[in-house]
Amino acid sequence: MFQKTKLSHLKQLESESIHIIREVISEFNNPAMLYSVGKDSSVMLHLAQKAFYPAPPPFPLVHVDTQWKFKEMIEFRDKRAAEVGMELIVYSNPKGKELNIS
């Protein structure tokens, strides 16, 4: 006989999120995850790690560099992507850089 385990609400949300991440990988070509270095995208990165552990997530991180982040945040972004073993794609708006705007 099997004993049914009841997950806490938080664990249910985590489980559903991991399921969605795995489903995206199985259903779509060339998925990527936006990574702003903020709290929300950091949680998403952690969930992606859990979804594919022990392998790294099978998609790249994409960061849009607005030129407004502290240099320590950019260093953290680079370090975090390397730690997780994910490709990091960084986009900077060249016209914005040229005009010194973001």
- 3-state DSSP assignment of residue 28: coil
**What is the amino acid identity at position 85?**
G
Q: Indicate the domain borders of the chain.
A: 30-98
Q: Both tokens of residue 19?
A: 């399921």
Angle at 63 between CA 26 and CA 66, to 5 degrees: 150
pTM for the model stands at 0.83
CATH 2.30.30.90 corresponds to the domain 30-98? no
Cα-Cα end-to-end distance for the chain: 61
| pLDDT tens series, the chain, 102 aa | 666 778 899 999 999 999 999 999 999 999 999 999 999 999 999 999 999 999 999 999 999 998 888 899 999 999 999 999 999 999 988 877 777 765
